Each structure stands twice: as structure tokens, then as C-alpha cells.
Structure 1
Amino acid sequence: MPHDEEIQAGLFLSRPPDTSTAGGAMSETFLRHAARVGTLRIVRRDVLKIQRCLGLLLHLRSHHTSLFPKLRTLNIDLEELYNPDEPDIGLPNLNLFLGPETRIATVNACHLVTQQLLVQLPLACPQLRKLEVERLPAGYTGVLRAFAALESFRCTNPRPYSEWDSINLPILGSLPSLHHLTLHLPNVDGSSLGLCIGHGALFTALETLTLSSIEAEYGLLDFLRLIGSPRLRELYLSVNDGVGTRAMHEVLEFIPAKFPTLRILSIDSYGSFGPDTPFPPEPITALQHLEDLSLCVNGIDLTYAGALRLCEAWPGLLWLAVSCSDTRYEAAKWPLSVLECFAHRLPALEYLNARLDTAAAIPRAASARSLDPIRLDIGKSQLCEDHVEATATYIGNVYPNAVLELRTIDSMSPEELRWQRVKALLKLQRGD
């Protein structure tokens, strides 16, 4: 069976159709293709073809409940979907591309197109589970009430504009099946935070929360207090510059108290936890079920004693990423020998991203060894020419099945070339 892309290529004609033949071969060809489409993506370059075919589409739609009966995923990425010279066959006909089995809808369009889709989606796609919009048109937040089965909502634009709405939390939080939520915090209607107090428990089914563009004037803690779900497992926070050290400490203290069963915690901040904050920060070590920790903040002090505390707090850790958002404020780095600590005390670790200190003397032998595969994203660590072979030998002794990931922008820099040699030596040691 051809892929959806091949099927979609046969949907839109390159020349205007003769609607008098709508019941003939042209209609049969279109319906045959459309009935097999599972994923439909409409972009700006498709608009002219759609306009040419619109008469035929309208004719077929008048005789069929849906032109796309098996459509599961709809992606509309354009500004306009109508011919201004023919307004009678314009915006009201967006439902031509909706199907009763549609589960996922992504909309990146002008506010007129977004308005029409938000009105028509709940009626035409009662099984819709995931909705992603760039913005909500002004006055249309209330439409979200109609998405009773919605499990995932994402609003991608960082800031609202005059013709777009802020997110009304009581409405969004009352959706009974909402499991996954992604928002830019400035898009939230600040006044609705206070209104939420009288609405009882909100976001009671939430499992994953992603908040971006967090700034000092937006109430991150107030938002987190609204989460009524006992099942929140994943929390992703992206904090802009300007959020002070005290505010960050309050967040760190609040998270384990509110979400004790958290499994994934990611904090990306241009700020700092403060110069006296040990790593890992003491409050979050209470998260006993943590499996994935990603911290990108300034001034992280990576000590061997801190590595031991980390291993004691989360012996089942699968993913560890520790970095500095601004290398000008980078504090101490872990010695390369910390790999032995992780090989011995974190047997389930699958991924490590950290800057390691390769300038110190590198041990000739390893006291701990793990045969399990691991991805090491340590290519941003400084590495001098004299330590290339010793570094490769040591890593191979500790993690013989390690895969070294290199994502340096300047792939021709001397530093990068040294890590490329380390990667090649590791493969040679394994006999790859």
C-alpha cells in the first residue's frame, strides 16, 4: 500500500476539474485515494490546487458523510484556505478535510481559519484526542469546553496578540481527560489564576506538563498549585532570565511536596539556584521515583560527593543531563572518574550528558565496569591532545559498549577532532 504522501499526491488536481464529470472517473479516483488517507497535511503551496478542486470536493461532500473516513491525523499549516473572489465556497467548507476518525489535529493558520476549525472540529471529529494550535483566536477559549475527549493540548506561540486570546485556565483545567499540556506561560490569562480558586479541582487527569517562557511576572507557583492530578509524572520548565534565585528555590521546594511521584523533571533556566546550592539540589532528592533528570542552570557545582548523593537518591536513574546555560558561569566539573561511580551505582543509566574534567590525571585502570550500552554526550568537555588515547582507553574500560554522541556545531574545531578520535578508538577497542 502506498504511503500517505503518495496517496495525498493524487488528491489535488493540477488543472480545474469539469464538474460535469464529477460522477465519473475523476470522482472515483479521488474517493479511492481519500478513503485510504490516514494522515493529511495541507500547506500553503496546496491552496491553489484546493481552490481548483473545490467545486468537485463540494459535489462529492454532498453525497458522502465524509471524504476522509479513515483520516487519523490532520495538519493544516497555512494562512488562508479560501478564494476571496468566491466567498460562498470559502471558510464554511473547511469541514471537507475533517473525518469522524480523526484523533490528532495541528493548526497553524490565520485567526479566521483557526476560528472555523475550532468550531467545526468537535462536531466533525468527536474522537479528537490531541489538539495543537499556534494561538487561540480572541473570544474562542470557551470552544475548548466542547472537546470533552481531548487528552493533549498544546499552544505553541510564546505570546498572545490583540486578535488572539489568553488561555482561560478554569475552562482548560475542567477538561476531564486532559493528560498532556504544553503552554507558554505568558499566554495564560493572569486574572484567571485567581478565578480558579472557586472552581474546585482542576487538571485532575494531568500526567505531563510543559511550561515555557516563564518570567518573573507570571505566577509559576500559582499555576503549579492548580494542578489537582495525583498522577503527574513529567514536568518540563523553561525559565527566562529575570527569575531570581529565591523564586527558583521556592519552586524546587514545592515540586517534591506537590508531585511526589514525578518520574521526569527538566528545568532549563537562564538563572541560577545560587552559589551555595549543592548538586543535586537538596529539595528534589525527595523525589524517590525519579528516572530522568535534566538541569540546565548557571553555576552548577559538580563534585564527586554530589555524584554519590545523586546515586543514593536515584539508584534507578535512566537519564541524566547536567549543563550550564551560560558557560561564563560554569562551576566545577565532574572528574572523568565519575564514570566509575555511575557504572557501579547507576546500573540502569542509559544516557549521560555532562561536561567532564579530562585535564586531571586519568586512571589507568577502572574499579567498576558496566557492559550495558550507554549514550555518552560528553563531547563538550575540554580535551587536550595528550589525553586523547588515555581518555578513550578509560571510557572503554568502564563502559566498553558506550556510544559517544558528538553534537558540536563546529565539527572542524581541534576539540571536536579530538573527540572524534576518541569515538574512533572506542569502536576500535570493541572491534566494530
Structure 2
Amino acid sequence: MIEETDEMNTEHDWTTTPITASLLRGVLDLERTERGVLPHRLPARARQQIPDGQLAMAESQPSGVRLAFRTRATAVELDVVATKRVYAGAPPRPDGVYELLVDGRLAGRASATEGDTLTIDMASGITQNRPGPVETLRFTGLPDDEKDVEIWLPHDETTQLAALRTNAPVHTPPPSGRKVWLHHGSSISHGSNAATPTGIWPALAAALGKVELVNMGFGGSALLDPFTARTMRDTPADMISVKIGINIVNTDLMRLRAFGPAVHGFLDTIRDGHPSTPLLVVSPIYCAIHENTPGPSALDPSAMSEGRLRFVATGDPAQSAAGKLTLTVIRDELARIVQQRAATDPNLHYLHGLDLYGEADHAELPLPDGLHPDPATHQRIGERFARLAFGGRPFTMENH
């Protein structure tokens, strides 16, 4: 929180601006609630088909979503209702971070310490909701001139936006002129274990590539769902990437026989709406527990007893011969599928996940919980993706 100042008490100078879709980027739907608006990263039609609470929670967490406006304001207030997650038996989660950028440069951070509380028992799947208060975030000392302001919402904390106040009028920003990058992936793309919303690897890559990010990274939920593919089909984009694999393995969702046709179907649906848009298929980064061991993943009880969160693979490597999936198998299958399709789809490309984060990277920067990268690893993945995708053939800089 930023402390209140005399400037914040000059009530007659304040302007309240309705929060509408025109002030939000990276969002696909806005739900009106009793306390404001709730940004969604899947549209209402897709949300009606969500089969579990995990994806329902993940798509409502505003990873990559940001308010964007022009103003001379030197002070900004944002009223929010944050949803605080509490996992039974697990260490407390840090508060989500809101980052304010002025003309693309970080100018302030704040967190909501209170809000609604969602308690989750991962063993039983039972959840409990407790309503909490609206909290006001304050950013002061901004430059006294016309500027572009962005407020990036927490990537991992569902946030209702209740009110936006400024001490000068707010204007809808003109189009940035940047190309739109639509990306879909797992919790790694969602931003798990990153410290800030602009520190998730897709946001870092988008900043380096000078593109507008629409992030459909859904924790635990990159599962080749048809409604996700249809959403991507219907979402305007100049370049598209899909990162496929880890969730298929760690949920033990399907066997090799089903995986290949499911990938084809997912790509076919995207191509129905984007027949020639550059489309990049990205295979999984290195994850030691699932390289050659199938899922499902499970929490390590010994780590939990020590107050740490760590995952282990519970499958049998011998079952790969019967079609159970590992990351090694999935990388080979994705490379085969892309090579097959590229014969008639010259705008389809493949990026080997180990080029983003491989075994040598794991030795230097191991995944702290066995599945998710830390902030330094997000930085590395983002920089490498920007170099390989935006600086290479799939999304060449001359395209944008």
C-alpha cells in the first residue's frame, strides 16, 4: 500500500471513471458484479462449459490483464476486491501485486492485504468462500504531464475492480499500433511463482517483442479443451502460440492414441479463424519429475510436513510403452505433428521447449517446487522466447 498524502485528500479534484472494456487490455469478457466488474480471460460461452473449479479459478485470475488510459493525473486510486487463496496445510501465499507503469516504465507497486478468502483443501477438493472488504490502492507522485498509464493486475489473484479515481480526467488511449500476440499455456505461462504481473515470462517476452499480450495461460488447465480452441479461433490476433504438454502429463489426462488427434483438432479449430496467422507450437520446458515418468503429479507429503510445497510424479515409467505420456514422448509427438502439418501450412512453426529451459538450466536454476519456475527463470524464459520467436522466423520483427 502507498500511504495517504494531503494530495489524496483534495476530494473536489477527483474524477471517477467508469471501468469499461475500453480501459482494459488482455481481457476477453467483463462480468458485472455487485461490487464492480470482474475481468475474465474466457468468454461467457466458454465458461459455461468449464468442467472443474481449477480452470474456473484460473481464467478469472487476470494474468496479463491491465488497465490502460491517458491522463495528467499525479495520483490514482483503484478500489478492488481481491480473492485471497488459502491452501489447507500449505504455507501462506503472498499478496498479489498491482504494478503501475508510466509510459512503459514502472512507477509504483501496491497490494491489497484484505478481500474475499477462498480456502482450498487440496486433498478433498472442498472449497469455502468468505466475503471480505473493498480495499483502496493508492499511487501518488506521478509526473504532472499527459502520459500513458497502465495498471497491471495480479497475475495469480482474482480481482474485482470497484472504482477508478484520479485527480485529473482519464481518456481512452489511442491504439498502440502494436501487433497482438495471443498465447495459451499452463501455469508456467499463467505466471506461477513469478513475483509480479510484469515479471511473468509472457509479459517479459511481450515487452521485449513490443507486442500487445493476450495471455490465455491457465494454471493446471492447458488441456486441449475445445472451448479454449474456439475462444482462440474467435479472438483477433496477429500472432499465436500454444504451449502444450505439462498439464496433459501431470493430470494423466490422456494416452498417446488420444493426444495426437486432440492436438490436430485444437490446431484445426484455431486455423478455422486464423487460416494464415503465424502459429507457433511450443513443447514443454524441462521438468525432471516428468521427463520419463508419467503422471499424475501429487504433493510431496514429506515436504508438506516441513511447511514446503513440492510435487512428485506418481506414474510408472514402464507404462510409457502402453501409451502413458511423458514430456519426452510429448515433445517427439508435437515435433512430428508440426512437421506433418507444415507441409501444407507454411505459417505453422515449432519451438522446442528445452531451448527455453533445458537440463543445464535446471542444474543452475532448479524449479523450486518441482513444477514451476522462480522469478529468475521466468526472466530467462521470457528473454529466450523473445529472441527465438520475435527475433526469429515465427514472429519476425518485420511483421510488426
Shared fold per TM-score greater than 0.5: no
Bigger strand fraction: 2
Higher-Rg structure is 1
Task: Give the TM bin, normalised by the shorter chain.
Answer: 0.3 to 0.5
TM-score normalised by structure 1 residue count: 0.30
TM-score normalised by structure 2 residue count: 0.32
